[in-house]
Amino acid sequence: MSIQLTESAARRVQQQIQARGHGLGLRVGVKASGCSGYAYLLDYADQPEPDEVVFESHGAKVFVARDTLAMLDGLVVDFRKEGLNEVFKFDNPNAEALCGCGESFSVQKTAA
């Protein structure tokens, strides 16, 4: 099982934690939502939850709830500047389909 941050995403997480003045890393999750089934949730983790697994990439930590690992295994989180926008992007090998707006995804039934 693995979740990875690109160098750009890790740098952004570290910058945000420094700007906040506290935090341990990025919390990545999913919720039932959108036209395709699931949407990613991002938050900053100030402390680990008992059911979380922690991954580390380029010096930044990612916290993921154990019950979402099947949907997120192999996920690569990138941070990109696109024109005036700055956004986290997700490359999830378990995503079977993405909605047209890019806000939600579906997974194979064995991953859900």
Nearest to 68 by CA among 88, 41, 43, 47: 41
The count of structural domains within the chain is 1
**Residue 112 domain-assigned (yes or no):** no
**Residue 53 domain-assigned (yes or no):** yes
Residue position matching structure tokens 């024109």: 83
3 and 77 in contact (C-beta within 8 Å)? yes
Looking at residue 34, its pLDDT comes to 60
pTM: 0.85
CATH classification at residue 55: 2.60.300.12
Residues of the chain with pLDDT under 70: 34-36, 97-105, 108-112
Q: Tell me: the pLDDT tens digits for 3-25?
A: 999 999 999 999 999 999 999 99
Range of the domain at 62: 3-107
**Residue 24 domain-assigned (yes or no):** yes
Looking at residue 111, its pLDDT comes to 52
Task: Kindly tell me the burial class for residue 95, based on how many C-beta atoms sit within 10 Å of its own C-beta (0-12, 13-18, 19 or more).
Answer: buried
